[in-house]
Amino acid sequence: MLKILWLVDALLLIAALAIAIFSTGQDQAGRAIVWFFPIAMALLLLASFGAGRLGLNGIATIVAAVAPLVAVVVIGTSARSFIEQRRNSSGASYWTDPALRRMATAIVAGDTAAIRVAAREADINAVGKDNMTPLTFAIGRQPSVVPALLSAGADAAKVVPNTLTPLAQALRAPESVFTALLNAGADANGDGDSGASILVSAIQTRSYARYAALIAHGADISKADATGRTALIVAAEERLWNIATDLINRGADVLVQSRDGASVSRVIERADENTRAEPEFSQFAQVARAAISKSSSNQRP
């Protein structure tokens, strides 16, 4: 009887290890939970085997019988996790409305015709679980259908409290999606990541195309983030000399300092020899020094 339990436990341990090894889509806490079960089963099996070798067959049998219960828990937990992952990836978990679920399925499939049909039957700007809208779902899952959603009535400027705007979420999407949202009315002066303006956040993605699109749609180049950094300071710190030069030519304040003392002057002063040898930096430094000199003169009484 004991040997049969050991054999069953060993087979279940192999299954639990396989689930842990091939499990995907888990965050750090989820992976820790999934790996806890095979480790616990292995320890129980070793404890049972050790008790058996010492002649404590009763204890060995009890411990060996506990291991299958652990296996049931790991299989059940992993199965629920897998089902939830599938539901999230398909959009089924975000909405209860059948039409919205059909729209989510069409988004995942990249079926623009089905999206248009679903849009006639559902509120295309409905907010579901986790503050998800069909538009933000598409930005994260299937960015290629964003233009179809916008043409079907999705609100590019919709702001959901405590959630990144569609434009901010599109910072990680293709540049064409970002531009499509701006063309559809997204706010070029809205918030980006971590309290920064969308312009600052776009610069931090090191994308000139996103920067240029925001400028074309009237982004405020003087807006500062929580630390007092403007788009110009961020561009200079990111060594994006072309963007920094363009901002100065557009009238960005070259004298502004952040709360921790960051400024255009400091970036120039701290540039190393290799940086100073870069043609783009040389042009930036020349334009910046001229602007600093002019601004300083204008401020003198």
The residue segments making up the domain with residue 83 are 2-90
Verify that 17 and 111 share a domain, yes or no. Answer: no
Q: Which two tokens stand for residue 188?
A: 């070029």
CATH number at residue 158: 1.25.40.20
d(CA 186, CA 165): 9
Choosing from 128, 161, 187, the residue where a domain stops is: 187
Cα–Cα separations (whole angstroms), residue 262 to 131, 148, 256, 273, 285: 36, 43, 9, 20, 16
Q: Are 64 and 102 part of one and the same domain?
A: no
144-168: pLDDT as tens digits: 999 999 999 999 999 999 999 999 9
Show which of 41, 58, 90 is a domain's final residue.
90
Q: Say yes or no to pLDDT of 27 above 60.
A: no
Looking at the structure, do residues 179 and 237 belong to the same domain, yes or no?
Answer: no
Average pLDDT along the chain: 85
Distances (CA, A) of 149 to 96, 98, 101, 185, 288: 19, 18, 14, 13, 43
Same domain, yes or no: 192 and 238: yes
Q: What is the pLDDT of residues 173-216, one digit of tens each?
A: 999 999 999 999 999 999 998 778 999 999 999 999 999 999 99
Q: CA-to-CA distance for 84 and 145, rounded, in angstroms?
A: 24
Q: Indicate the pLDDT class of residue 226, thresholds 50, 70 and 90.
A: confident
* The overall pTM is greater than 0.75: no
pLDDT in tens, 29-49: 455 656 666 677 777 777 777
Residue pair 246/216 in contact (Cβ under 8 Å)? The answer is no
Domain shared by 159 and 68, yes or no: no
d(CA 76, CA 116): 38
φ/ψ bin of 129: left (φ > 0), alpha (ψ from -120 to 50), beta (otherwise): beta
Question: Measured on CA atoms in the order 224, 197, 254, 252, is the torsion positive or negative?
Answer: negative
Instruction: Yes or no: say if 252 and 220 are a contact pair by the CB < 8 Å rule.
Output: no
Residues 150 and 179 in one domain: yes
Q: Which long-range contacts (CB under 8 A, 24 or more apart) does 78-84 make?
A: 78/19, 78/23, 78/34, 81/23, 81/25, 81/26, 81/30, 81/34, 82/23
Please give the radius of gyration of the chain, using alpha carbons only, rounded to the nearest integer.
Answer: 29
Nearest to 281 by CA among 296, 295, 269: 269
Which of 155, 187, 219 is the endpoint of a domain?
187
**Domain count across the chain:** 3
User: Based on the domain organization, do 170 and 223 belong to the same domain?
Assistant: no
Q: Name the band, by pLDDT with cuts 50, 70 and 90, for residue 106.
A: very high
Could you give the angle at the alpha carbon of 200 between the alpha carbons of 196 and 204, nearest 5°?
A: 110
pLDDT band for 52, please (50, 70, 90 cuts).
confident
The single residue listed with the structure tokens 């255009």 is 264
Q: Is the pLDDT of residue 26 over 70?
A: no
Q: What is the per-residue pLDDT for 30?
A: 54
Residue 102 shares a structural domain with residue 134: yes
